[in-house]
Amino acid sequence: MRTQVAIIGAGPSGLLLGQLLHKAGIDNIILERQTGDYVLGRIRAGILEQTTVDLLHEAGVGHRVDAEGIVHHAIELVFEGKRHPIHVHDLTGGKVVTAYGQTELTRDLMEAREAAGLPTVYEAANVTLHDFDSQSPRVRYEKDGQTHEIACDFIAGCDGFHGVSRETVKDKVTEYEKVYPFGWLGVLADVPPVSPHAIVYGNSARGFSLCSMRSLTRSRYYVQVPLDDKVEAWSDERFWDELRRRVDPDLAARIVTGPTIEKSIAPLRSFVAEPLRFGRLFLAGDAGHIVPPTGAKGLNLAASDVKFLSTALIEFYKDKIEAGIDTYSDRVLKRIWKAERFSWWMTSLMHRFPDSGEIGQRLQEAELDYLVNSVAASTTLAENYVGLPFDFGE
C-alpha cells in the first residue's frame, strides 16, 4: 500500500488533517487503534474558537456547527457568591466562541471522510513508524492477524497523549510537565443548561465548578474533586447538591437536575513536548501537548496545529516549498506555549489549591476582584479565551 500522508489516530486532529489534505488533492490513510464507535464515545470539551469553526468550513464540514452550535458573546465568573460577566465579544471587537461538542465535531468529520470514500483503518493494532529520517517513511500495523505496511512521504502523529508517535521519538524529545493536585468530576445530563448564553466558571470555598452545555437540552457540568476521589462515591444527588453549593444563589435555584448519562473524573495536566517535527514525522494535537481544560483550549490547539501542518504539506506538494515543513515545530510551539500559559493561569485563578495557604487565597481573591473590575485585565482574559490569531506575534 502507498499513500502520500499516513495519519496515525482518528481523533479530531487526524480526521481534520485528513479532510484538509483531501480537499487539496493529497491522499492519506488514517490508522486508528480503536473502533469508530469507541472514538465517538469519548466525552470531551465543547467550546470552539472562531478560527476552529472557520477551519471546519475549510474542511467542508461547517454546516452542522453553524446550524446547531450555540454562539456565546460572554463568559461568567462566579466568586464569593456573585456572578460577573466578561463580555468577550465587546472586549475583542466582535469575536465569539461556539458551544459544540467534540463528539459532534468528530462525527461530522467521520461522516465526511466516509462520504468521500477515504481510507480509515479502525482497530489497527501495533502500529510502528519507520524510516521517517529518510525520504521514504513507512508505517506498519496489524489487522485481523495480518501485518500490513504503508509506504508514504510523511507521517502525521495525531494519536493523542498515549499514542505511539511521540513514544517512537522519546529519546529526541524534551518534555515539560505539570500535574495539578486535583481532578474534574464531569457529568452529562439531558436537562436544559442553567446558563445557555454563557459558560460559567466558579471559584468557591468548596472548589471550582463549571456550568457548560452541549445543546439547549443537554448540559455539561463539572466540579473540582481530590485526585483520589472515585466516581462511585458520587450519586447524582450528591453531584447536584455540590454544584449548587459552588455557584451563586440565583444560579443554584435555577439549575435543572435529572439523571446523568455520563460521569467521569479526569486529571488536569499541562504538558509540552519539544520539538514536534522529526524529519518526515510530525506530531499534532494531544500527541504533542496537553492543557488543563480550564479555558477550553485543547481542541482549539489541536485544530491550529492541523492548520499549520496542512498548510505546510499543501505548499510542499503544490509549490515545492519546504519552508512550512521546516518551521512547523517552531511556529506551532509559539502558539502552544501561549495557550499553555493561559490554561495554567486560568486553572490557577479558578481552583482551590491544597497548599496555597492563607496568603495564596487572599492573592487569588485580589486577582479575581481586579480581573472583573479592570477593562485591561478583562480584555486580556477575553482575547485569549476567544483565541489568539494564527499569525499572532509573527
Please tell me the distance from the alpha carbon of residue 359 to that of residue 364, in angstroms, as a whole number.
9
Name every residue whose Cβ is closer than 8 Å to that of residue 176 and which is 6 or more positions away in sequence.
270, 271, 272, 273, 274
User: Which residues in 235-294 contact ligand PHB (CB under 6 A)?
Assistant: 293-294
Contact 148, 123 (CB under 8 A): no
The verdict on whether omega for the bond into residue 193 sits within 30 degrees of 0, i.e. cis, is: no
Pick the closer one to ligand PHB by CB: 287 or 346.
Answer: 346
Instruction: Determine whether 180 is an active site residue.
Output: no
Q: Is residue 32 near ligand APR by the rule CB under 6 A?
A: yes
**Alpha helices (H) along 190-297:** 236-246, 249-254
Of 13-21, 44-52, 171-179, 362-370, the window that binds ligand PHB (rule: CB under 6 A) is 44-52
User: E strands along the chain, which residues?
Assistant: 5-8, 28-31, 47-49, 70-72, 74-79, 82-86, 97-99, 120-121, 125-130, 138-143, 146-151, 154-157, 174-189, 198-204, 207-215, 218-225, 260-274, 277-278, 281-283, 289-290
Measured CA to CA, the distance from residue 237 to residue 254 in angstroms comes to 16
| Burial bucket for residue 192 (CB in 10 Å: 0-12, 13-18, 19+) | middle
Q: Grid coordinates in use for 265?
A: 473524573
Residue 164 or 191: the one with the smaller Cβ distance to ligand APR is 164
297 is catalytic: yes
For residue 47, state whether it binds ligand PHB (rule: CB under 6 A).
yes
Q: Is 249 a residue of the active site? A: no
Question: By C-beta, is 84 or 143 nearer to ligand PHB?
Answer: 84
Q: Which is closer to ligand PHB, CB of 160 or CB of 295?
A: 295
Least separation, in Å, of the C-beta of 197 and ligand APR? Answer: 23
Catalytic residue among 12, 193, 292, 293: 293
Q: Does 11 bind ligand APR (CB under 6 A)?
A: yes
122 is catalytic: no
Say which of 141, 201, 221, 222 is annotated catalytic.
201
State the residue number with the nearest CB to ligand PHB.
212
Site string for ligand PHB, 203-242 (x = CB under 6 A): -------x-x-------x----------------------
In angstroms, the CA 237 to CA 217 distance is: 20
Q: Which of 17, 26, 29, 45 is the binder for ligand PHB (CB under 6 A)?
A: 45
Residue 164 interacts with, from ligand APR, ligand PHB, none (CB under 5-8 Å by kind): ligand APR
Q: Please count the other Cβ atoms lying within 10 Å of the Cβ belonging to residue 222.
A: 23
Q: Is 328 a catalytic residue?
A: no
- Three cell numbers written together for 344: 495554567
Instruction: Show contacts with ligand APR in window 268-287 (CB under 6 A).
Output: 285-287
Counts of helices then strands in the chain (DSSP H, E):
13, 20
Q: Which of 297, 307, 328, 351 is catalytic?
A: 297
- The nearer residue to ligand PHB, 294 or 384, going by C-beta atoms, is 294
Residues linked to residue 154 through DSSP beta bridges, in sequence order: 5
Selected binder of ligand APR within 6, 8, 91, 281 (CB under 6 A): 8
**Of the residues 49, 159, 242, 340, which one makes contact with ligand APR according to CB under 6 A:** 159
The answer to whether residues 121 and 31 touch, using CB atoms and an 8 Å cutoff, is yes
CA dihedral 174, 46, 265, 383 (to 10 degrees): 60
List the catalytic residues.
72, 201, 293, 297, 385
Site residues (CB under 6 A) for ligand APR? 8-14, 31-34, 39, 44-45, 102, 124, 127, 158-160, 162-164, 285-287, 298-299, 302
